[in-house]
Structure 1
Amino acid sequence: MNPCRSIHACIGVLLLGGALPLRAEELKEIIVEADAEETVVPPHFAGSTTVIEGKTIAESGARSVAELLATRGGVRLSSSSGNSSGSAVHLRGFGENSSSRVLVLVDGRPLNRPDMGGVSWLEVPLARIERVEILRGSQTARFGDNAAGGVINLVTKEGGKRSTVIEAAGGSDCYTLARLSYQDTFAGKRIALDLERNYTDGWRQNAESELESAALRWSRDLESRAELEFGVSWANERNGFPGPLSKEQYLLSPRESIYELAGVADQYFSEQSRWGFDGNLILGKKGELAFEMPIAFTRRDQEWNFGAGMHADNLLQTFSAAPRLGAAGERWELEAGLQYRRDSLDVSQFAEIQRVNRTAQAELGRETLGVFASGEWEPWKNWHLGVSARWETTQVDASARNFASPANPNLNFDRENDEANRAWQIGLRWEPREDLSSWVRYDRLYRLPSTDEIASYQGYPLTRPFNDQLRAETGHNLELGSEWSPGDWRFRLNGFAQWLEGEIAFDYLQNLNVNLADTRRLGVESSIGYSRGIWEADLHYTNLIAEYEGGVYAGKQVYLVPRHELTARLACRPVEKVMIQGEYQYIGDAFEGNDFQNTREKLPSYGVANLLLRYEPKPGLSVYLRVNNLLDEHYATVKYSGVWYPASGRQFQLGIRREL
């Protein structure tokens, strides 16, 4: 395959007809709200939120959701490959394994894996996204596991008014992009179709990233008393691993790959295909009385190659269901339901990339069942009280076999463990005027251990192959904030404190994931926005201290967590059809990975500037030029035990977008 081949898109539309029969008398006085969106932001939420709307997404020129989060959401990213599409997102002072502590939802359904594998941001192409919602701070009581640091909800298009959007782009490092988004309504049936191909050679050697995806959503009203909707999606992805560099290599030639230099780059890459299905039956009207029955199933088949003897096939299948009932009155809303999820992992390891000799086999299952309830009440005028509670039980079953050493108990086991957790949230929001609000909130939270924090089955032996002593992180979160929007300005100030008991980390001295220590995170988030005439600007700044409270590391800072984060944007429309936008992100220094004692050379601070030029010769047609890392800053977002993972240098992207 020629990686720099011309952009192409294959366009097809599938129209589905028919509907499930439903007699009107079976659902008397039930009314559907057909345009209800899968928002996770309550109308009077006592906390800090950021919403990125569809128009902003369309004008961003971003390659992936991750890049959009960084440039418009004020979210910090880190990547070991230099490609933003494979980045980990960081909220509220979580560094290592932050992907397990930020819950990512697609239309309210969890996307996080049960292991420590991060979210593939290309898996949900920007062409599908209608809106992005960011909730900072613990939301475990409302959403369950992984929400210790916050929630990112991706709301996809559900069809409606006829529109067709075609976008194509090309750039440095053989970057090519082709996107198609189509939506329409036929005889009451709403459809949305999205196709995307995204490719880059990568700024570093052996950092190739390629994805092809397709998604279809379909919904219709049933006798105007209920709504049925479902979606199917497919994605095929390949990524290369460039590997770390020594400090000398990093300073001399950061684009190099140690695997390329050693002539074994063809042994370091991953490929995966993913199929997904989701459906939802909605009875009633949101905001009055409604019942929803969302279900989802995904199958991810991944080939992982990480050098000689480290070749694995990882099949993950996930089923989830979350029936819930909601009711509302003039000054109150209530919702309650169940949440069930079953993850099944089947892992086979091989001695060679051709996968002839299987060396090990593992099967894991994680089953989670939760009961939740939440409500919002206006006890006094302009005061809104919100409460949520959740009880959840989880069980992990793990079986591993090593064919080379079948008698070694450290490599062969059949174990299980279970535990129950609880969380609750109470918040109060005061809205004396339309442009002014303040809030206070308390959260009791938890975060479950991932499957490969508990069990050794990925080819990396641990001191204890199945650690049934590892328990969930638990803790408390407290927030106090306010926002004010006088005229053209927007101000927000939010302070928070979070305490975690038994935060999980990998102790390299014990060669084991353990409940290492209690931790404390104290921070202040501030933002300023301005929009008037030809000018638009916003700035987000976070000052945060994350440190260990007990044990041998008491008083030491948590590694890979910077104290300062700043994101700024300035946009100008000097003439009607032209927009010029500058973006800047500054990340302070942090202690390198595994530096529990805070004695080694830090990961240095860095500042990256981007430029976006957009020209709209006529309505519905735009041409844009994006330059990421405009000043060609030399920096790294990850550093472990003296080795560096360089980030990308300057990259160009030229694209065209047409809406019909």
Structure 2
Amino acid sequence: MRNITFIHFIIGIFLVINFIPVFAEPVEDLDDIVVSATRWETPGIPTAGSITVITRKQIIESGANRVIDILRGRGGVQIRDLYGDGSRATVDMRGFGESAGANTLILVDGRRLNNTDLHAPDLSFISIKDIERIEIVQGSSTVLYGDQAVGGVINIITRQAGELDVDFEAGYGSYDHQLQILKLANRFDNGIGIRTSAERRLSDNYRDNNDLEYLNVFANLSYDWDRGNMFAEFQRTDEEIGIPGALFSNEINISRKQTTKPLDFNDTIADVFRIGGLFSMTPDWEVAGEYTRRDEDVNGNITFSGGFGFAFKQKRLHQSFNPRVRGKISFGHQEMLLVAGADIEKTDYELVSFTSSEQDLKSIYALATLPFNDVMSITGGLRKAWVENEIVTFVPITPDDHLTASTLGVTITSDNAWRFFIKREDNYRIPLVDEQTDVFFSGFPELKTQTGVSYEAGGEWYNRWFVSKLLGYVLKLENELSFNPLIGPFGQNVNLDPTRRTGLIFEVSVTPVDQLTVDAQYTYTDAVFENTAGAGARVPLVAEHQLHFSVTYRTAPHWSIYGEALLISDRVAGGDIANNFASLPGHGVGNLNLRYDDGAWNFSARINNILDRKYSDNAGIGFNPGSGNTETGFYPAPERNFILTLGYEF
């Protein structure tokens, strides 16, 4: 597979796409409404690229209670879950391993969850009940979304107020897991809408010192009129969780559930306030924008191997303003779709009492799609960004930078039965504020901005009962940002020599009858280092192969059964850049869900890890005081477990 060139893949795509339409029955309209292609609601995907939509119906039938379980195994998406409860999980697109949290952009209604420090986006702060759909954007999307959109973008679209809807749901499961959800939504005849929800979770979880207390409250007030809308919303999340840490092999042999760090914990309070709106100036031109303020206070304790540790406090204040405009410009008999805007972001970060940092990021962008005819269109765009840092550790530093990214792509469609695209896009990732600091030493060289280029080509074909997608890519990076734990006593953040990733994604969904849907997704990822002493070594924590298979059978008007299997190959342990230590073994896991829904009452019974596999979903190298050597530490995943939920809609 590594010898297959990008041009060979493109030729193969053309051959397949020219063969499939012979059997594909054109359909009148299979276009989903998507936001992520242009940052506006748009029928279908007008730009060059690939977007997969996970619908609310699919989410409900799966019985998933966490966002991370919905994304697990999806094409091009790999998940690493430290403790199996979704509270400390990382989404990885394009095979970034340890740095995936800063190279995959996570959005909620276009609002960034990503941080400008090393803390990965926290998907556990999103309630399943609030989700309308999830859009997975494959590949670099830097021109439209900016920093950290290197491997891809996941945009979680929440539900909007409609007819009066009052829902209550309660659940109980393994490890004394308790769940209560309350939701109220309504839109009045005068255009005013309200949407509120509250979610509470308690759990002992699988591991010792992994108790969870979680509360999430949300309120949205909106107003719609014939030429636009406006809204204001607030969310507060309060999470208290114990952090059990990794176990070495000798410790796992004694007990998979034990912890060697009984004092470690994280307590987080996060407040998000957001206000925005949209206004239609003319039938062809619209303006929109949002202001967001996110405050986070974190208290915790961390213990290193050998028993050394300390209590810490983190404070994050992230503010952003995102104005944009969309319009159509006539070119002869065709209309060019133009999207342009600005992203203005300011972050204040403090790690008490070691560091304080400020980062200001300003950027402007434009993306245009011009149809040549009814079959072919071209997409091009440009983003210019300026970043200013003020970072204070023991020595103040101000590593400022300015960046440019461009994209160019071509899309070909035919008879609404198939679609082909090819795209090139630049990308960048700005060093995080705490990647540029060291609380124990100073004088390290300033890190360079990670830059790269992505080449992608793909095809989709579909009819009333069959939808399929094939996508290939090459991603080349310069100065990739990573952490090397073997430099010095505590490790060091570094710029790597050039890295390369090539991959293949295949997805298929078949619905031969209304009662049955079969889905499968296969992801091949070849992520390696280049031009180093260990050239050809695999990037840690990236699986080369991943296969996800699911079946949904609707047995009666109100009943459905959902089953899924996930197979993932072995991965190099985190931090093992030279590939010298024990790897994280591959594993296979199956889940099953039974659901009843008559429109008022609903009931769900989900069994996770139904075959009771004993596996780990994450691993990293570290010092084992028991042996006196550097070894691989593992994070044991839960064995067979269940969750029962009962809900009523008034």
Shared fold (TM-score, shorter chain, > 0.5) = yes
Contact 1:64 1:85 in 2 (8 A): no
Query: Residue 448 of structure 2 aligns to which amino acid in structure 1?
Result: R
> Structure 1 residues 184, 518: closer, same or farther in 2, change over 3 A?
same
State the match for 2:368 in structure 1.
Answer: 375
- Among 472, 496, 503, the alignment partner of 2:449 is 472
- Among 640, 646, 649, the alignment partner of 1:650 is 640
User: 2:82 & 2:283 partners in 1: Cα distance?
Assistant: 44
Kindly state the Cα deviation for residue 361 of structure 1 after the two structures are TM-superposed: 4.0
State the match for 2:297 in structure 1.
Answer: 301
Are residue 281 (structure 1) and residue 277 (structure 2) matched? yes
User: 1:207 & 1:477 partners in 2: Cα distance?
Assistant: 39
Give 5+ residue unaligned stretches, structure 2. 1-31, 39-44, 622-631
- Deviation readout 1:358-412 (Å, 9 max, x if unpaired): xx34211111000111111111222122122111111221123xxxxxxxxxxx2
Q: Secondary structure at the match of 1:67?
A: helix
Query: Residue 642 of structure 2 aligns to which amino acid in structure 1?
Result: F
Kindly state the Cα deviation for residue 85 of structure 1 after the two structures are TM-superposed: 2.9
User: 1:73 & 1:125 partners in 2: Cα distance?
Assistant: 23
> Structure 1 residues 422, 276: closer, same or farther in 2, change over 3 A?
same
Matches within 5 A, 1:212-251: 212-221=215-224, 224-251=226-253
State the match for 2:267 in structure 1.
Answer: 271
State the match for 1:24 in structure 2.
Answer: none
State the match for 1:599 in structure 2.
Answer: 580
Query: Residue 104 of structure 1 aligns to which amino acid in structure 2?
Result: I
Kindly state the Cα deviation for residue 286 of structure 1 after the two structures are TM-superposed: 9.0
Q: Secondary structure at the match of 2:60?
A: helix
Contact 1:141 1:372 in 2 (8 A): yes
Matches within 5 A, 1:141-290: 141-186=143-188, 187-221=190-224, 224-259=226-261, 265=262, 267-284=263-280, 288-290=284-286
State the match for 1:448 in structure 2.
Answer: 430
Higher RCO (C-alpha 8 Å, min separation 6): 2
Kindly state the Cα deviation for residue 328 of structure 1 after the two structures are TM-superposed: 1.8
Are residue 626 (structure 1) and residue 606 (structure 2) matched? yes
User: 2:644 & 2:76 partners in 1: Cα distance?
Assistant: 24
Query: Residue 499 of structure 1 aligns to which amino acid in structure 2?
Result: K
User: 1:427 & 1:131 partners in 2: Cα distance?
Assistant: 26
Q: Secondary structure at the match of 1:127?
A: helix
User: 1:201 & 1:615 partners in 2: Cα distance?
Assistant: 28
Output the TM-score relative to the length of structure 2: 0.87
> Structure 1 residues 286, 71: closer, same or farther in 2, change over 3 A?
farther
Kindly state the Cα deviation for residue 574 of structure 1 after the two structures are TM-superposed: 2.6
> Structure 1 residues 153, 522: closer, same or farther in 2, change over 3 A?
same
Kindly state the Cα deviation for residue 573 of structure 1 after the two structures are TM-superposed: 2.0
Kindly state the Cα deviation for residue 542 of structure 1 after the two structures are TM-superposed: 0.9
State the match for 1:574 in structure 2.
Answer: 555
Contact 2:377 2:411 in 1 (8 A): yes
User: 1:454 & 1:198 partners in 2: Cα distance?
Assistant: 36
State the match for 2:460 in structure 1.
Answer: 483
> Structure 1 residues 73, 176: closer, same or farther in 2, change over 3 A?
farther
State the match for 1:39 in structure 2.
Answer: 35
Q: Secondary structure at the match of 2:397?
A: strand
Q: Secondary structure at the match of 2:399?
A: strand
- Among 96, 106, 109, the alignment partner of 2:108 is 106
State the match for 1:507 in structure 2.
Answer: 484
Query: Residue 200 of structure 2 aligns to which amino acid in structure 1?
Result: R
Q: CA-atom RMSD, angstroms?
A: 1.9
State the match for 2:15 in structure 1.
Answer: none
Query: Residue 638 of structure 1 aligns to which amino acid in structure 2?
Result: N
Kindly state the Cα deviation for residue 182 of structure 1 after the two structures are TM-superposed: 1.5
- Among 527, 537, 540, the alignment partner of 2:518 is 537
Q: Secondary structure at the match of 2:435?
A: helix
Contact 1:387 1:425 in 2 (8 A): yes
Are residue 586 (structure 1) and residue 562 (structure 2) matched? no
Q: Secondary structure at the match of 2:101?
A: helix
What percentage of residue pairs aligned between the two structures are identical?
28
- Deviation readout 1:12-50 (Å, 9 max, x if unpaired): xxxxxxxxxxxxxxxxxxxxxxxx988213432322221
Contact 1:77 1:84 in 2 (8 A): no
- Deviation readout 1:483-536 (Å, 9 max, x if unpaired): 111331111111111100111112234332111110111111001111123211
Kindly state the Cα deviation for residue 158 of structure 1 after the two structures are TM-superposed: 2.7
User: 2:345 & 2:120 partners in 1: Cα distance?
Assistant: 18
State the match for 1:14 in structure 2.
Answer: none
State the match for 1:333 in structure 2.
Answer: 337
- Among 531, 538, 542, the alignment partner of 1:561 is 542
Q: Secondary structure at the match of 1:591?
A: coil
> Structure 1 residues 174, 72: closer, same or farther in 2, change over 3 A?
farther
- Deviation readout 1:133-173 (Å, 9 max, x if unpaired): 11111111110011111101111223122212222111000
> Structure 1 residues 65, 467: closer, same or farther in 2, change over 3 A?
farther
Give 5+ residue unaligned stretches, structure 1. 1-35, 260-264, 349-359, 401-411
Kindly state the Cα deviation for residue 575 of structure 1 after the two structures are TM-superposed: 2.7
Query: Residue 636 of structure 1 aligns to which amino acid in structure 2?
Result: S
User: 1:196 & 1:73 partners in 2: Cα distance?
Assistant: 29
Q: Secondary structure at the match of 2:647?
A: strand
Q: Secondary structure at the match of 1:233?
A: strand
Query: Residue 75 of structure 1 aligns to which amino acid in structure 2?
Result: V
Are residue 393 (structure 1) and residue 386 (structure 2) matched? yes
State the match for 1:318 in structure 2.
Answer: 318
Kindly state the Cα deviation for residue 659 of structure 1 after the two structures are TM-superposed: 2.3
Kindly state the Cα deviation for residue 73 of structure 1 after the two structures are TM-superposed: 6.7
Kindly state the Cα deviation for residue 597 of structure 1 after the two structures are TM-superposed: 2.1
Q: Secondary structure at the match of 1:603?
A: coil
Query: Residue 441 of structure 1 aligns to which amino acid in structure 2?
Result: K
Matches within 5 A, 1:334-353: 334-348=338-352
Contact 1:148 1:445 in 2 (8 A): yes
State the match for 1:495 in structure 2.
Answer: 472
Output the TM-score relative to the length of structure 1: 0.86
> Structure 1 residues 193, 558: closer, same or farther in 2, change over 3 A?
same
Kindly state the Cα deviation for residue 637 of structure 1 after the two structures are TM-superposed: 1.6
User: 2:370 & 2:194 partners in 1: Cα distance?
Assistant: 36
State the match for 1:31 in structure 2.
Answer: none
Query: Residue 411 of structure 2 aligns to which amino acid in structure 1?
Result: R
Q: Secondary structure at the match of 1:243?
A: coil
